[in-house]
Amino acid sequence: MSIDRVMLLDEHTANRIAAGEVVERPASAVKELVENALDAGATRIRLQLEDGGRALIRIEDNGCGMSRNDAIMALQRHATSKIRTADDLFALNTLGFRGEALPSIASVSHFSLFTRSEEEEAGIHLTVHSGEIESINETAMPCGTVIMVEELFYNTPARMKFLKSTAAELGRSLDIVGQLAVAHPEVSFQVVHRGQDALSTPGNGDSLAPLAAVWGRDTARKLIPVEFDGSGVMVRGFIATPEITRPGRSHELFYVNGRPIKNRVASHALEDAFRALTPESRYPVAAIFITVPAGDVDVNVHPTKTEVKFVRDGDVHHAVSQAVKSALLKYGIVPTVQAAVPDVAFGGAASHSPLPLFSGGSTRHGSMDANSWSQLGVERLETNVAIQPRADEPLSLPEEPRPFAELLREYQVLGQLQDTYIIAKTPRGLAVIDQHVAHERVLYERLTVSRNRNGIASQLLNPPVTITLERREALLLAEHTHSFKASGWEVEKFGGDSFVVRAIPASLSNKPYEQMLRDMVDELVNQSITRRLLVQQDHVLITNACKMAVKAGDPLTVGEMTELLQQLAETENPYLCPHGRPIVVTIGLNDLEKLFKRA
Ligand SMILES: Nc1ncnc2c1ncn2[C@@H]1O[C@H](COP(=O)(O)OP(=O)(O)OP(=O)(O)O)[C@@H](O)[C@H]1O
Ligand SMILES: [Mg+2]
């Protein structure tokens, strides 16, 4: 005789299991609660946290509130006002839809809810302990909702043990609120921790305001708008100019249809566009809003709803990549000496002076319309004015920058310093150009262009040269002979760890090419670990350009220097060398006036 052993779990147990997925730490509860407030149409969201959210998360919103019955319903699993049928999953316009956040949080905390909708005379106050409603009372309150989550994980000690320090947990909550705030410039957010203001946004509709609150005003000033519309994908957002990078992906914010997400395809497109501009192992700063038809994205991949699947990955990649690349080209920024100069000149007295700033413009508030996109904080080339702004000074800028390539044509070479730097007169001051990196950029782009056309001119070696490499070098070279070929090398495996070099790039004919080949393979060995995203073929080109370029210490004539600047002006990206180092540093007349105390 068989015994039946399978039975349904009771509701509380099921909720605790769901909580395991949805509520991993205080920040996940914060995320769910803030999303609910946004879905309720709130324009003002206040959060109070104690002990990083462990002891208390209190959230207050001025959204639509709930009726008595809805409030009771909302605490049951799979109860939601946001969808009715599975079809609605592909026409979502809310952040929530699973109907499990509130019951999950309530099952692992002491939970109370105050809520009042506009239609009700009074609000209601509900308390929940261990997932069971304990009391329901009427209460006087304005429209909206207040939720208090106390002693999170008091009944799940295992989960409690995994929590990090107060500061770390608070940091995660601030990241989450920041991400949502960036997508909602029209909502005013405030987070208070231990009585201190930890994050606040004005909610005045200015898209840069939450970014300034989250990343700081200096970074917000370096943001440039990105924009692309193509085959069912619209991209809007901001990226920081490439001199600002981060050691990890913490400042890569992506949104799909207003929802903060993590997505490999989008990240790759962004990083790929920055690849030649950012130094090794550094990541860009960006907030990218992707809009696709609701049916083209699946957000129901994971209970936390941060992973999504795009129906057409390729279109999304293309759109993000184009948006970022065209913005980088349009608004390249030349580094100026300005940040460093005051330290030298004034004995460090001005060491708190901010990064290069532009002079003020008129405040532009309002939603992200076409107009404000062109009004954003973009540093004008060579016209930096180091005025310490007032904290409320606007972040917008009246003028569009001129393309750097155009400015470069107005440079007039004055001479060479240390056989390393080209000194040029510009309409607005002085420019110092690193001759090696400038040439490197020129060569890199030539190599890329001719590779894309039909490969690079090579010169046959007669007789061919045989070289022997270390085992792992040999493996790498064998794997990459095609990319070497694309940049003019003809290298063939010869057996064992030996290779025959039959042809070299024509431009290397009078250089120590054998050593260069070894160096490049050497770099491939090191690079392959540190920079997984780097397309090796590009890396070969970068290294080739570097090896072929004039060196620091090579004397150049004025004619050669002028020619180099002309060539640089024709490159797609005259701002940074392929390794991400700046090519030009400018000293504006303004800076000189200040240094000489003429201002
Ligand atoms: N701050 C709020 N203001 C008004 N209504 C709310 C608020 N928070 C929750 N609700 C109501 O309670 C319901 C349940 O919320 P809950 O977060 O559990 O589920 P959901 O938001 O529908 O889906 P998900 O689990 O994906 O978040 C919501 O559908 C909504 O109707
Ligand atoms: Mg929800």
Q: pLDDT tens digits, residue range 458-490?
A: 889 989 999 887 777 777 788 778 777 877 789
pLDDT of residue 135: 96
Span 590-597, average pLDDT: 85
pLDDT-derived band at 523, boundaries 50, 70, 90:
low
Distance CA 317, CA 269 (A): 5
Distance CA 144, CA 537 (A): 57
Query: Candidates 15, 72, 84, 102: which one to mutate for ligand 1, based on the most atoms within 8 Å of Cβ?
Result: 102
Span 122-130, average pLDDT: 93
C-alpha dist (Å) from residue 286 to 236, 241, 269, 289, 540: 11, 9, 12, 10, 28
Distance CA 323, CA 344 (A): 39
DSSP secondary structure of 33-98: HHHHHHHTT-SEEEEEEEGGGTSEEEEEE-S----HHHHHHHTSTT--SS-SSGGGGGG--SS--S
Q: Quick check: 292 and 256 in contact, CB under 8 A?
A: yes
| β-bridge mates for residue 431, sequence order | 424, 586
Distance CA 421, CA 415 (A): 9
Coil/strand/helix, residue 253: strand
Parallel, antiparallel or unpaired: strands 188-193 and 252-256: unpaired
pLDDT of residue 55: 96
Span 194-209, average pLDDT: 93
Residue scoring higher pLDDT (522 or 562): 562
Distance from the alpha carbon of residue 168 to the mean position of ligand 1, in angstroms:
27
Distance CA 75, CA 113 (A): 10
pLDDT-derived band at 362, boundaries 50, 70, 90:
very low
Query: What end-to-end distance do the CA atoms of the chain give, in Å?
Result: 99
Query: Candidates 21, 23, 39, 46: which one to mutate for ligand 1, based on the most atoms within 8 Å of Cβ?
Result: 39
Q: What percent of the chain has pLDDT above 70?
A: 82
pLDDT-derived band at 581, boundaries 50, 70, 90:
confident
Q: Quick check: 425 and 561 in contact, CB under 8 A?
A: no
pLDDT of residue 590: 82
Distance CA 255, CA 180 (A): 9
pLDDT-derived band at 389, boundaries 50, 70, 90:
very low
Within a 10 A sphere around the Cβ of 416, how many other Cβ atoms? Answer: 19
60's tokens: 């207050």
* Residue-averaged pLDDT of the chain: 81
By residue count, the chain amounts to: 599
CATH 3.30.1540.20 range(s) for the chain read 337-435+554-595
C-alpha dist (Å) from residue 465 to 481, 491, 517: 15, 10, 12
Closest residue by Cα to atom 29, ligand 1, is 80
pLDDT-derived band at 547, boundaries 50, 70, 90:
confident
Distance from the alpha carbon of residue 335 to the mean position of ligand 1, in angstroms:
48
Query: Candidates 36, 72, 114, 141: which one to mutate for ligand 1, based on the most atoms within 8 Å of Cβ?
Result: 36
Helices 313-330 and 264-274, packing angle to 10 deg: 30
Residue 391 clears pLDDT 70, i.e. is over it: no
Residue 394 clears pLDDT 70, i.e. is over it: no
CATH code given to domain 438-548: 3.30.1370.100
Ligand 1 binding pocket (C-beta < 6 A) is: 32, 36-37, 40, 61, 63-66, 74, 79-82, 96-102, 145
151's tokens: 């002693």
Distance from the alpha carbon of residue 312 to the mean position of ligand 2, in angstroms:
27
pLDDT-derived band at 597, boundaries 50, 70, 90:
confident
Which one of the ligands is nearest to 80 CA?
Answer: 1
340's tokens: 């460093």
pLDDT of residue 218: 79
Span 211-222, average pLDDT: 86
Distance CA 264, CA 270 (A): 10
pLDDT of residue 454: 59
Among the atoms of ligand 1, which is closest to the Cα of residue 59? 1
pLDDT-derived band at 62, boundaries 50, 70, 90:
very high
CATH 3.30.1370.100 range(s) for the chain read 438-548
Distance CA 289, CA 266 (A): 10
* Domain 337-435+554-595 belongs in CATH node 3.50.50.60: no
1's tokens: 């005789």
Span 136-146, average pLDDT: 96
DSSP secondary structure of 433-474: EEHHHHHHHHHHHHHHHHHHHH---EEEEEEEEEEE--HHHH
| Least trusted range by pLDDT, from 79-88, 270-279, 549-558 | 270-279
Question: Which of 357, 355, 356, 375 has the alpha carbon at shortest distance from 365?
Answer: 375
Residue 534 clears pLDDT 80, i.e. is over it: no
Distance from the alpha carbon of residue 240 to the mean position of ligand 2, in angstroms:
32
Distance CA 275, CA 271 (A): 6
pLDDT of residue 467: 87
Q: What is the pLDDT of residues 290-340, one digit of tens each?
A: 999 988 998 878 878 888 999 998 899 999 988 998 887 777 555 444 433
Span 374-386, average pLDDT: 30
- pTM over 0.75, yes/no: no
94's tokens: 């809310």
CATH 3.30.230.10 range(s) for the chain read 223-330
359: left (phi over 0), alpha (psi -120 to 50) or beta: beta
pLDDT-derived band at 276, boundaries 50, 70, 90:
low
Distance CA 543, CA 470 (A): 20
pLDDT of residue 527: 52
100's tokens: 């499990």
pLDDT-derived band at 161, boundaries 50, 70, 90:
confident
85's tokens: 């049928």
Q: Helices H, strands E: what count in the chain?
A: 19, 24
Amino acid present at 376 = L
CATH code given to domain 223-330: 3.30.230.10
pLDDT of residue 120: 93
Residue scoring higher pLDDT (286 or 9): 286
Span 419-429, average pLDDT: 92
Distance from the alpha carbon of residue 102 to the mean position of ligand 2, in angstroms:
7
Distance CA 251, CA 285 (A): 5
| β-bridge mates for residue 309, sequence order | 298
- Integer-rounded Cα radius of gyration of the chain: 29
Residue 85 clears pLDDT 60, i.e. is over it: yes
Burial grade of 44 (CB within 10 A; 0-12, 13-18, 19 or more): middle
Distance from the alpha carbon of residue 95 to the mean position of ligand 1, in angstroms:
9
Question: Which of 247, 314, 249, 332 has the alpha carbon at shortest distance from 288?
Answer: 249
Among the atoms of ligand 1, which is closest to the Cα of residue 22? 25
Span 155-172, average pLDDT: 87
CATH code given to domain 11-200: 3.30.565.10
Which one of the ligands is nearest to 69 CA?
Answer: 1
Residue 533 clears pLDDT 50, i.e. is over it: no
Distance from the alpha carbon of residue 525 to the mean position of ligand 2, in angstroms:
48
Among the atoms of ligand 1, which is closest to the Cα of residue 104? 18
Question: Which of 115, 117, 118, 112 has the alpha carbon at shortest distance from 148?
Answer: 112
Residue 351 clears pLDDT 50, i.e. is over it: no
